[in-house]
Amino acid sequence: MKKTAYVVRPDGLPTYSSAAHAGTMNRRLIGKETVGAGNMEVVLGEVDLDGMAGAHYHDVAEQAMYLLEGKCIVEVEGESFEMGPGDMAFFPPGVRHEAVPMGGPVKILVIYSPPLADPTTAFRT
């Protein structure tokens, strides 16, 4: 991946799976490591059909999730919502939420503010 201070391409970025998630592959597009961002983080996530973001919350970070491909069920504080491409969800700090694919894999953009210190451990169940 050729990196500049302003443009990031997902190909070649390292992948990781977050705590409380199964069957996921994430790439940090915008963050300290890629463009030097200090106040936000943008992640491209792919969740396979059998994967899920299990019920969890973040102590401090606000989270927005934009669905690019596929369908999923999002549960927020006990309320369920069906999401399709173009839909966006918001999860305030301290609010339990989860997402489960419906009928196939999903691709999402996830935005955190402030950035998660360590995405492999920054989730509370």
Output the pLDDT for position 71: 96
Question: Is residue 124 situated within a structural domain?
Answer: no
Question: Is residue 8 situated within a structural domain?
Answer: no
Take residue 42 and report the two structure tokens written for it. 């943008």
Take residue 49 and report the two structure tokens written for it. 């059909």
Output the pLDDT for position 102: 93
Question: Is residue 11 situated within a structural domain?
Answer: no
Output the pLDDT for position 125: 56
If we measure between CA atoms, which residue out of 17, 124, 122, 105 comes closest to residue 67?
105
The C-alpha atoms of residue 102 and residue 29 are separated, in whole angstroms, by: 25
- Residue range of the domain that includes 62: 21-113
Q: Within 13 Å, how many C-alpha atoms sit on residue 14's CB side?
A: 6
Take residue 27 and report the two structure tokens written for it. 């790439």
Q: For the chain, how many structural domains are there in total? A: 1
Pairing between β-strand 88-91 and β-strand 62-69 as defined by DSSP bridges: antiparallel
CA distances from 53 to 8, 49, 75, 89, 107 (A): 25, 12, 10, 14, 12
**The CATH number of the domain where 108 resides is what?**
2.60.120.10
Q: Are 107 and 69 in contact (CB under 8 A)?
A: yes
Take residue 44 and report the two structure tokens written for it. 């491209």
Per-residue model confidence as pLDDT tens for the chain (125 residues): 455 578 999 998 999 887 777 778 899 999 998 999 999 999 999 988 777 777 888 888 999 999 999 999 999 988 999 999 999 999 999 999 998 899 889 999 999 999 987 655 455 55
